[in-house]
Structure 1
Amino acid sequence: MPLIYRLLTEDDTSEFCHKVSLALSKGWVLYGNPTYVYDHANGVMRVGQAVTKDVEAAYSRDMKLGQQ
């Protein structure tokens, strides 16, 4: 079964938590630790979390990962 990968990013707000929670509710699995970085240009903290998911369909560059 093919494994697909996404990197979720957002400002460090509750919106990021909702984005990750939505992905988890759709069967995505956390991959590694979250990452944090200070965005000097915008003066905010940014956070990212990698997630993976086994899918039945063959991988295609055209697939919409968020809809899997």
Structure 2
Amino acid sequence: MLIYRFLTGEDDSLFCHKVTKALSEGWQLHGSPTYAFDAVTKKMRCGQAVTRVAKDQPYDPDKKLIDF
């Protein structure tokens, strides 16, 4: 089963660490990153989709994606 997550955060080092942590846990980048201005907070926001294969596990909508 292919699992999909979309990581988001402010454009700062914490977002980069979030993506790097996901990659170190076996997630792979999926598509291009996104970048948008948040008019409410007046800050730039980033997003990056990641995927990972979870073998021999049925999908469970109550399970956190990071736990697959």
**TM bucket normalised to smaller:** over 0.9
Task: Give the unaligned 5+ runs of structure 2.
Answer: none
Residue number in structure 1 paired with 2:40 = 41
Cα deviation for residue 67 of structure 1 reads 3.0
TM-score normalised by structure 1 residue count: 0.93
- Tell me the number of residue pairs that the alignment of Structure 1 and Structure 2 aligns: 67
Matched, 1:4 2:12: no
Task: Give the unaligned 5+ runs of structure 1.
Answer: none
Matched, 1:22 2:21: yes
SS in 2 for 1:17: helix
CA deviation profile, 1:25-68 (whole Å, cap 9, x unmatched): 00000000000000000000000000000002111111111233
**RMSD value over aligned CA atoms?**
0.8
TM-score normalised by structure 2 residue count: 0.93
